[in-house]
Amino acid sequence: MAGTVTLSEAESKQLLATYRVPVPDERTAATADAAVIAAGEIGYPAVAKLCGRGIAHKTERGLVRLGLADADAVRAAATELLVAARPDDGPVEVLVAPMLRGTRELIAGLHTDPEFGRCVMVGVGGVLAEAVADVSFRLVPIERVDAEEMLDDLRGSALLGEVRGEPVVDRGALVGILLGLAALAEAELDVLSVDVNPLVVVEGKPVAVDALVELRT
Amino acid sequence: MSVEPAPERFRALFEPRGVVVAGASSHPGKFGFVALHNILTQGYAGAVFATNLEGGEILGVPTVASIDDLPADAPVDLAFICTPAAANLDVVRACARRGIGAAFVTSAGYGEAGEAGRAAEAELVALADELGILLAGPNGQGVVSMPALLCAQIVAPCPPRGRIAVASQSGNFVSSFLNYAVQTGIGISRAVSAGNAAAVTVPDYLEHYAADPETAVGLAYVEGVRDGRGFFERVRGVTTLKPLVVLKGGATAGGQRAAASHTGALAGDDRIFDGACRQVGVTRAATVEEAFEAAATFATQPLPRGPRVAVVTTAGGWGVVTADAIVRSELTLVPLPADLRDAIDAKLPPRWSRNNPIDLAGGETRDTIPEVLELAAAHDEVDAVVYLGLGIQSNQARMMREGRFYPGYGLDRIVAYHERQDERFATAAADVSEATGKPILTATELAITSPDNPGPRAVRASGRLCYASSNRAVRALEHLWRYARYRRSRGL
């Protein structure tokens, strides 16, 4: 879009983390060797993704490598990713992250609406988020009670309970994420939109596994 | 909105000491005739005047050529303007010279009519602002104020007096809400067709209603909200004081916006509007009848203190589907408390349901229904009651009364008994609700299939809505609970 720029995934998550949105323990690496060192620090299995401001549709372009079991796998994946970068992607790095598992994926975000201004959102996430369209919005600013009610609004709010052996989702943590996003909206006036998708529930705790922040330029 | 309308100027609109119809017509098909007719025939006690360039008398009112020619000592606060748009700047100036505080402009040819119309509207608004006149409309269908018995509108009907105040961006919906008021007996305090809402907007009216002692609940129809954020910031103040029911047109229009983000793609107008309603305690209705019935329920029932509902029924199937409706809602079907079950056991033969729904299963005698209503409503674990089955006996009584054997064979006595009983049950529902401070909603299809049935008739006489089906009662009660919960969770 004209007049906007998207932060890289790593930059987006750094910004979100300052507003208490939980993000994985991740590292960026400029080379395949650095990626192997990073994975060694984080632990296996690992994930490698190509990361840069120009890269928005990683999955569609095959720029995400999951379930990397050891150093060799990380080295091979990082090498391929760096080769796959196109000239118009601009500066790129490899983002090395832990492989997080959770069957439940949520979405959270911010939107700047022409009529309503800044809005915060939560919903059922993942690649089908738009098709499922089970979401709830509020106008920023919000109070804790609003964040609680947003979760109650979801048709799929049963997902937040105990599901298939996974524990109840930490509602307090979800509320904290929504309050954090609202605080970000109030403080960071150049932020036009935020997508946290998927917000994966790992052993009851929501973690921003992917995120994209769009800025006004 | 360039100036905040002061309450005093709303008084000129809703409590005028006198009204002048500018551009009154002798032709019964014209707005200028219909408006004058409706003001004169519905009981308005203030002075009524009319202007017409050709002079003469219309409906017994001697007309004058201009507002400037009105009798010097006549108190006139409201001008109901039916003149062509081109004449209205002069009319508004004359209003100001005469000390008229409010003008309701029905004339079309303004913001709805292209570039020239928008310019004319801006000019009219600027003039009214400069002169300190409250300008309603233009292109509106009129204003109703039942405490003043004022029915200054170019559409029917005149509603019964009550506590619902309507503000609508569609004049036809004002009429529709008033029609429901006539049908149900749940009355109206004020109603205004905002027209183009060029100067006074829907939130302006709603803020006035929030402060209006004649009004218990606001009922608004909105289409395009020009400043969505501003709208919600203002109605938050309204819902702090009173419930507000909003019906929004265009829920599916606009749809998703083109957006780079998933969040943006999911942010249709309607989803944001819906979330904002919940955020500020607006009761959002999905349909016209749901909007009216929610408002009517706010106007006539106490707010529930919790979500727990007991169903009292003499109609088994209705009890079952009502339980289903409650389970699907945000209300809860309270498991029948043991002490309540024991208390009802003492009143009924053992075939009653012994659970919630409390299905009396035909075991009731003369006083059972009022007693069970009282037991259920008075119980600490019950926040509201839905009462079903009213009027069934009177429906049979009607067949007897109209059949050829009447009044023989004891039919006169049994007919009178059933009709008396159904009246009594309806009255008991209202009395017990009053005494316990808990909502008791009575639902029967007879409310519309047989509105003269003594049961539904007595519900109306008690000042309450007789719901045409139990799912509609459950929906209305759910709206009350959601508002009560909003207030409680925000310490209001």
Pick the CATH number of A25-98 from 3.40.50.1970, 3.30.1490.20, 3.30.920.30, 3.40.50.2300: 3.30.1490.20
Interchain contact, A142 vs B267, CB within 8 Å = no
A–B CB contacts, 8 A cutoff, strictly below: 93
Q: Give A109's contacts in chain B (Cβ within 8 Å).
A: 261-263
DSSP codes joined into one string, chain A:
-TTEEEPPHHHHHHHHHHTT------EEESSHHHHHHHHHHH-SSEEEEEE-TT---TTTTT-EEEEE-SHHHHHHHHHHHHHH--GGG-S-EEEEEE----SEEEEEEEEEETTTEEEEEEEE-STTHHHH--EEEEESS--HHHHHHHHHH-TTGGGGS-BTTBPPP-HHHHHHHHHHHHHHHHH-TTEEEEEEEEEEEETTEEEESSEEEEEE-
Tokens of B261: 């983000």
CATH number of A104-216: 3.30.470.20
Residue of A nearest to B229 (CA): A116
pLDDT of residue B260: 60
CA distance A138 to chain B (A): 5
Q: Give B276's contacts in chain A (Cβ within 8 Å).
A: 116, 137-139
- Answer whether residue B404 shows pLDDT above 80: yes
B274 has a chain A CB within 8 A of its CB: yes
Tens of pLDDT, residues A131-168: 999 999 999 999 999 999 999 999 988 999 998 888 99
Q: Rounded CA gap, B483 and B303, in Å?
A: 8
B488 has a chain A CB within 8 A of its CB: no
Contact between A144 and A120 under an 8 Å Cβ cutoff? The reply is no
Of the candidates B253, B275, B325, B266, the residue with the CA atom closest to the CA atom of residue B471: B325
B261 has a chain A CB within 8 A of its CB: yes
Tens of pLDDT, residues A185-194: 999 999 999 9
A198 has a chain B CB within 8 A of its CB: no
Q: Give A212's contacts in chain B (Cβ within 8 Å).
A: 261
- Answer whether residue A100 shows pLDDT above 50: yes
- Answer whether residue B255 shows pLDDT above 90: no
B53 CB-side CA count, 13 A: 5
Q: Rounded CA gap, B105 and B197, in Å?
A: 10
A7 has a chain B CB within 8 A of its CB: no
Interchain contact, B263 vs A6, CB within 8 Å = no
pLDDT of residue B425: 98
Q: Give A129's contacts in chain B (Cβ within 8 Å).
A: 262, 266
Q: Exposed, middle or buried by CB within 10 Å (0-12, 13-18, 19+), for B143? A: buried
Of the candidates B202, B141, B203, the residue with the CA atom closest to the CA atom of residue B173: B141
CA distance B380 to chain A (A): 26
Q: Which residues contact B424 (CB under 8 A, 6 or more apart)?
A: B370, B458
Interchain contact, A115 vs B271, CB within 8 Å = no
Q: Percent of chain B beyond pLDDT 70? A: 96
User: What residues does CATH 3.30.470.20 cover in chain A?
Assistant: 104-216
- Answer whether residue B256 shows pLDDT above 50: no
Q: Give B260's contacts in chain A (Cβ within 8 Å).
A: 1, 4, 6, 56, 193, 214
Interchain contact, B261 vs A150, CB within 8 Å = no
Interchain contact, B276 vs A130, CB within 8 Å = no
Contact between A65 and A47 under an 8 Å Cβ cutoff? The reply is yes
CA distance B284 to chain A (A): 14
Sign of CA dihedral A10, A12, A18, A22: negative
Interchain contact, B489 vs A145, CB within 8 Å = yes
Q: Rounded CA gap, B232 and A115, in Å?
A: 11
pLDDT of residue B52: 97
Of the candidates A158, A115, A116, the residue with the CA atom closest to the CA atom of residue A140: A116
Q: Give A119's contacts in chain B (Cβ within 8 Å).
A: 267, 272, 275
Contact between B54 and B80 under an 8 Å Cβ cutoff? The reply is no
Please confirm whether the linkage preceding A114 is cis (ω < 30° from 0). no
> How big is the CA angle at B184 (ends B179 and B187), to the nearest 5 degrees?
75
Q: What value does the mean pLDDT take over residues B106-123?
A: 95
The residues in B 276-295 lying below 8 A from A, measured between CB atoms, are 276, 278-279
Q: Rounded CA gap, A147 and A142, in Å?
A: 7
Please confirm whether the linkage preceding B357 is cis (ω < 30° from 0). yes
Q: Give A197's contacts in chain B (Cβ within 8 Å).
A: 262
Of the candidates A70, A74, A59, A66, the residue with the CA atom closest to the CA atom of residue A29: A74
Tens of pLDDT, residues A160-181: 999 888 899 999 999 999 999 9
Q: What value does the mean pLDDT of chain B take?
A: 94
Q: Rounded CA gap, B319 and B327, in Å?
A: 12
The pairs formed by B416-423 with CB atoms below 8 angstroms and a separation of 24 or more are: B418/B393, B418/B394, B419/B394, B419/B454, B420/B454, B421/B366, B421/B393, B422/B390, B422/B391, B422/B393, B422/B394, B422/B453, B422/B454, B422/B455, B422/B458, B423/B454, B423/B455, B423/B457, B423/B458
Sign of CA dihedral B170, B173, B178, B179: positive
pLDDT band at B306 (very low <50, low <70, confident <90, very high): very high
B253 has a chain A CB within 8 A of its CB: no
Interchain contact, A136 vs B267, CB within 8 Å = no
Considering only the beta carbons, identify the residue of A6, A137, A145 that sits closest to B267. Answer: A137
Q: Give A137's contacts in chain B (Cβ within 8 Å).
A: 267, 271-272, 274-276
Kindly give the interhelix angle for B228-241 and B202-211, rounded to the nearest 10 degrees.
Answer: 10
Domains by residue range for chain B, with CATH: 7-298 (3.40.50.261), 302-489 (3.40.50.261)
pLDDT of residue B225: 76
Check residues B109 and B256 and name the one with the higher pLDDT: B109
Considering only the beta carbons, identify the residue of A6, A129, A137 that sits closest to B275. Answer: A137
Contact between A212 and B263 under an 8 Å Cβ cutoff? The reply is no
CA distance A146 to chain B (A): 6
User: What residues does CATH 3.30.1490.20 cover in chain A?
Assistant: 25-98
Considering only the beta carbons, identify the residue of B266, B279, B490 that sits closest to A139. Answer: B279
- Answer whether residue B215 shows pLDDT above 80: yes
Q: What value does the mean pLDDT take over residues B328-350?
A: 97
DSSP codes joined into one string, B414-461:
HHHHHHHHHHHHHHHHHHHHHHHT--EEEE-THHHHSTTSHHHHHHHH
A103 has a chain B CB within 8 A of its CB: no
- Answer whether residue B2 shows pLDDT above 50: no
The residues in B 344-373 lying below 8 A from A, measured between CB atoms, are none
- pTM over cut 0.90: yes
Residue of B nearest to A145 (CA): B489
pLDDT band at B440 (very low <50, low <70, confident <90, very high): very high
> How big is the CA angle at B361 (ends B358 and B363), to the nearest 5 degrees?
105
Interchain contact, B272 vs A115, CB within 8 Å = yes
Which secondary structure element, helix H or strand E, spans residue B364, and what is its range?
none
pLDDT of residue B227: 86
| Residue B193, strand partner residues | B168
- CB B75: neighbour CB atoms within 10 A? 12
Q: What value does the mean pLDDT take over residues A14-33?
A: 97
- Answer whether residue B409 shows pLDDT above 50: yes
CA distance B110 to chain A (A): 24
Interchain contact, A113 vs B489, CB within 8 Å = no
> How big is the CA angle at B28 (ends B24 and B31), to the nearest 5 degrees?
50
Tens of pLDDT, residues B179-200: 999 999 999 999 999 999 999 9
Q: Percent of chain B beyond pLDDT 90? A: 91
Residue of A nearest to B224 (CA): A115
- Answer whether residue B3 shows pLDDT above 60: no
Q: What value does the mean pLDDT take over residues B421-432?
A: 98
B225 has a chain A CB within 8 A of its CB: yes
Interchain contact, B260 vs A197, CB within 8 Å = no
A127 has a chain B CB within 8 A of its CB: no
Q: What value does the mean pLDDT take over residues B220-227?
A: 85
3-state secondary structure at position B79: strand
Tens of pLDDT, residues B68-105: 999 988 899 999 999 999 999 999 999 999 999 999 99
- CB B134: neighbour CB atoms within 10 A? 25
Interchain contact, B279 vs A142, CB within 8 Å = yes
B267 has a chain A CB within 8 A of its CB: yes
Q: Rounded CA gap, B487 and A13, in Å?
A: 37
pLDDT of residue A57: 76
Sign of CA dihedral B25, B26, B29, B34: positive
